[in-house]
Structure 1
Amino acid sequence: MNFFEGLNFFTYLIAALSGAAVLGILEKPLRHYVFLLSVLFITAVFWSKPQQFLYLLIYVLLQIVLVKGYLAIRKRYGRKAGIYHIFLVLSIAPLLINKIGGLFHLSVLGFLGISYLTFRAVQMIIEIYDGVIEEVPAVEFLSFLLFFPSISSGPIDRSRRFHEDYEKVYTRQEYLELLGDGLMKIMLGLVYKIVLAALFAKWMEAVAYGETWYAGIGYVYCYGFNMFFDFAGYSLMAVGTSYILGVKAPDNFRLPFISKDIKGFWDRWHISLSHWFRDFIFSRFIMTAIRKKWFKTRLTGASIGFIINMLVMGAWHGLTVSYLLYGLYHGVLLALTEIYQKKARFYKKYKKKKWYQAVSCFVTFQLVMFGFYIFSGRMIETVAGFIK
């Protein structure tokens, strides 16, 4: 059984959400029920994968020790950068080991959802260091870390936002609105994933091995739309399920293909991921660069920050040439967009014109699709074949 796949999962999910709906309508707290469901669903999914289950248990125990341990040290000794960096590295280490192992086709500490759990744990360590998290109740931390709707593919929630929903007891009217919104998102997600993603997958397969130039272009667009509808469909179902459980998980997509520039695209595509990197990597790099005067201008710092930020994001997807090139490609695009918008008189003169926005939309869409071509690994294959 896998998350949001197959008859068994959805049968159990309907039963679980029915119980949540009863509790919500009766104005009862949902937090203990959410924790119980997460434990049950994770056990059911991982039961047939004993090695992954063992890795998951080791990982969770490690993160509890790191988060609770760092909180205790932070309270006693204050902001010590050296100690903070040690705990940060230790928290990221399992994911890093897993990614490096993947280069050699080894499953080291690998389990479904390790990336998304790492985002949650690392975010808590960073915000404990910042002083904005002062308490970490063990059960709530486990509920946040193991929240089953978003464990395998997001969206990436934030602990303080999760805490507000976790503690809240909704009125009947409030919960009924959440229930309605949640059911609508689940139904739309099913259409995205089961109908539209499958349709584009079929078309993609039909043109995958075509030798004509237009077959190659058709593959790129089918791949891009298939990836969007598959991932957005999963995200909608995860968010919809979260709503019914009383947790307003953030939306992950917002009409990304109508973006007017590449910055707008990353504000609409995989939003929880791009905003996480923006807040915890890009912004902190920029603040450090300004404080230590690394660059002559803020524009230079921002441009380099975009490239570093997206390279890290590419590496997060995997330490392969395709993923790293994808990150570099988007980092350069973001840097060039920033320079163009800050320096070009043409942009400042025409940016509000409808014709300019239409052209910008079209160009951005093509750039995004070429990025998917890099991401798919097909470009590397094509280049290798050409060289041969």
Structure 2
Amino acid sequence: MNFNFINLQPYANPQYFIYLMIALIPMIIGLYHGKRFKTYEAIFSLVFLFLIFDGSHWQQGINLLVYLVYEFAITFFYQNYRQKENKTWVFYLAVILAIIPLSIVKVLTAFPVKSIPFVIGFLGISYITFKNVQVIMEMRDGAIKKVDPLTYARFLLFFPTISSGPIDRYRRFKKDFDKAPSRDEYITDLQFAVRYLFQGFLYKFIIGWFFGTYWLPKISQAALLAGNANGGLKLSWWVVAYMYCYSMYLFFDFAGYSLFAVSISYFMGIHTPMNFNKPFISKNIKDFWNRWHMTLSFWFRDYIYMRFTFFAMKKKLFKNRIRLSQVSYFLLFLIMGFWHGLTWYYIVYGIFHATAICINDVWLRFKKKHKGQIPHNKFTEWFAIFLTFNVVCFSFLIFSGFLSQLWFGWQ
């Protein structure tokens, strides 16, 4: 069989799924009979990881191996040291060391150094880093008593989610991995796996293709031509069209990818959490972040927002709790913006969402104070959904970077 290695990137094309489903058959048979073939699962993951990082991506594969050794050293050093002596500065050092490689990759991606003769980073570095930091923090909290090296390696290298999530939690993953489901439980898993697989095909390869490949380039070209020829009036409508089209593409493409990852996980008897829950019916911006890219937003909430808030309260950095929550939101979304990339539109995207949430909190406090005076009915609920949808779509227009392209197109 002649593999086209370049096309064997995760969930990139329908051909990829043929190889994937064939490789899953032994696992499916084993789990159906109540047996988890851990050795085969490990070989399966390693083979598909090899196919991802083969050919022109081999340097990324080397980086992944080096990175795993580095992160293992940090995690198990902290685990062993903490059992002997619990010092706060060691915890902070472990977290900082864990995120340094990702930070370097983000900086060098934004400001490439031509003199560096090798590839920096690898596919999935962000999501592996998030998992590793999560484990270090939960060891510090005492939620994780001890990390098993083999389970930890499987957790970090879990093939279906390694490149772009969803971001699982170690304790939840270990609970599934340590046992095989019963036959009835696995039949239910298979039903969900097949459903999510076909839903992912619908989202990514049909609806996502229609918005992203068919419509978006035409609207983008029309917007640039209209801007050069007619000024801002006609351009504004093309920008609006681009905003909605890009938002739909972003959702269906990413949600489709996430459904594939969840589907393959269920085939393997692992209940990877869902990433999206009907985000475009959100009634406010907070509701949106409880529905959009949920595993990432919950990770940022639990390990950045909540921890900074508790730290600030403990140190009494802010007397006013409302002001503290506002500062925490801006810190949270600025970090999220920087994580996406060191460009102005990602940073503005983060500031925009932090501002929107702060305004939303002001409105919610106002409603609570004037309870019974502000109408609440189906019309107001639909209006809230409509308003939130448009606020979110405008934020995606910022996120897309298309405004920069328009600006340079006008010059």
Confirm or deny a common fold (TM above 0.5).
yes
Alpha-carbon contact 2:59-2:119 (below 8 Å) kept: no
Once residues 30 and 336 of structure 1 are traced to their aligned partners in structure 2, the CA distance between those partners, rounded to angstroms, is: 52
The alignment's C-alpha RMSD in Å is: 1.6
| Counterpart contact for 1:30–1:169, Cα < 8 Å | no
Please tell me whether residue 45 in structure 1 is matched to residue 56 in structure 2: no
Q: Provide the residue aligned with 2:219 in structure 1.
A: 207
Instruction: Please point out which of 300, 311, 322 is paired with 1:277.
Output: 300
Secondary structure of the 1:355 match is helix
Amino acid at match of 1:272: T
Residue 63 of structure 1, CA deviation: 0.8
Displacement of 1:296 after TM fit?
2.3
Residue identity opposite 1:104 in structure 2: F
List aligned pairs for 1:125-204, cutoff 5 A.
125-201=136-212, 202-204=214-216
Q: Is the 8 A contact 2:34 2:183 kept in 1?
A: yes
Secondary structure of the residue aligned to 1:209 is helix
Amino acid of the structure 2 residue aligned with 1:254: N
- Code of the residue aligned with 2:326 in structure 1: it is S
Determine what percentage of the aligned residue pairs are the same residue: 37
CA distance in 2, matches of 1:165, 1:241: 14
Match of 2:259, as an amino acid? L
Which of 7, 11, 20 is equivalent to 1:4? 11
TM-score (norm 2): 0.90
| 1:72 partnered with 2:96 | no
Aligned equivalents of 1:27 and 1:235: distance in 2? 27
TM-score by length of 1: 0.96
Q: 2:22 matched to 1:15? A: yes
- Could you say which residue in structure 2 is the equivalent of 1:353? 377
Which one is further off, 20-29 or 105-114?
Answer: 105-114
Q: 1:47 to 1:351 in 2, by over 3 A?
A: farther
The C-alpha deviation readout for 1:281-304, integer Å capped at 9, x for no partner, is: 011111112222222221111111
**Partner of 2:67 in structure 1?**
59
Q: 1:159-191 deviations in whole A, cap 9, x for unaligned?
A: 011011111221111111001111110110011
In the other structure, the counterpart of 2:272 is 249
1:104 and 2:111 equivalent?
Answer: yes
Partner of 1:379: 403
- In the TM superposition, what whole-angstrom CA distance separates every residue of 1:124-172 from its partner, at most 9, and x where no partner exists? 1111111211211111011000001001110000101101111122111
How many residues get paired? 386
Conserved? CA contact 2:60–2:119, under 8 Å? no
* CA-CA distance at 1:70 after TM superposition: 0.8
Question: Contact conserved, 1:31 with 1:167, CA < 8 A, in 2?
Answer: no
Offset, 1:348: 6.5
Residue 105 of structure 1 and its aligned partner are, at CA, apart by 3.0
Distance 1:151 1:360 in 2: 36
> Structure 2: which 5+ runs fail to align?
1-7, 227-233
Query: Deviation per CA, 1:229-261, whole angstroms, max 9, x where unpaired?
Result: 000000001001101101100000010001000
Q: Which amino acid aligns with 1:35?
A: A
Task: Could you tell me which runs of 5 or more consecutive residues in structure 1 were left unpaired when the two chains were aligned.
Answer: none
Check whether the contact 1:259–1:361 (CA below 8 A) recurs between aligned residues.
yes
Q: 1:108 to 1:281 in 2, by over 3 A?
A: farther
Mean Cα deviation higher: 291-300 or 354-363: 291-300
Cα pair 2:189 2:269 within 8 Å, conserved: yes
Give 1:119's aligned residue: 130
Equivalent residue number for residue 5 of structure 2:
none
**Counterpart pick for 1:311 among 334, 348, 362:** 334
- Whole-angstrom distance in 1 between the partners of 2:375 and 2:275: 27
- For the 8 Å contact 2:176–2:270, the answer to whether it is kept is yes
Q: Whole-Å Cα distance in 2 between the matches of residues 115 and 62 of structure 1?
A: 15
